[in-house]
Amino acid sequence: MVNEEIVELSKKPQPVFKDPTFQQKFRPISSSGKKRIWRSLKQVLAQERSLPWSPEVVLYSSINAPPSFKPAKKYSDISGLPSRYTDPQTKLHFATAEEYATVRSLPMDITAGYLALRGASSIVG
């Protein structure tokens, strides 16, 4: 009698929200033996360009994101570390005092090269 009560208590009732007749409609990965292949964004865009699409279809390459409300992060032009400082004379970003000394000792043509790499406008000074 005690065993019957234990058996009844050990049987958990099936939750109401689960359908006992539910069957998966997609092919499980284990039955085919293949793993799911994930594609990079570059591969998806290349595949989209290769297929003929009508002009009104929305594609990954045609989606425009709104501008960000966060300010752009600034990185040091010398080391690539996040920087909080900008040299007022050369407009180069730097992260440490040693980089500041390096920035001040650079000739103008190298400074212009760093600004061109960053995409900043030329020095007006």
Query: Do the beta carbons of residue 40 and residue 47 sit within 8 Å?
Result: no
pLDDT band at 84 (very low <50, low <70, confident <90, very high): very high
pLDDT for 11 equals 66
Mean pLDDT of 69-97: 93
Greater model confidence, 123 or 96: 96
From the list 125, 124, 118, the residue with the least C-alpha distance to 74 is 118
| Confidence band for 36, pLDDT divided at 50, 70 and 90 | confident
Report, as an integer, the average pLDDT of 14-19: 70
pLDDT confidence of residue 7: 57
pLDDT of res. 96:
95
Any domain includes 20: no
Q: Considering its fold, how many domains does the chain have in total?
A: 1
In a domain, 101, yes or no: yes
- Domain limits at 107? 85-118
User: Which candidate, 66, 116, 70, 67, places its Cα nearest to that of 91?
Assistant: 116
Q: Is residue 111 part of a domain?
A: yes
For residue 89, the model assigns a pLDDT of 92
Stretch 54-71: mean pLDDT: 81
Question: Residue 81 in contact with residue 75, Cβ under 8 Å?
Answer: yes
- Domain-located, residue 95: yes
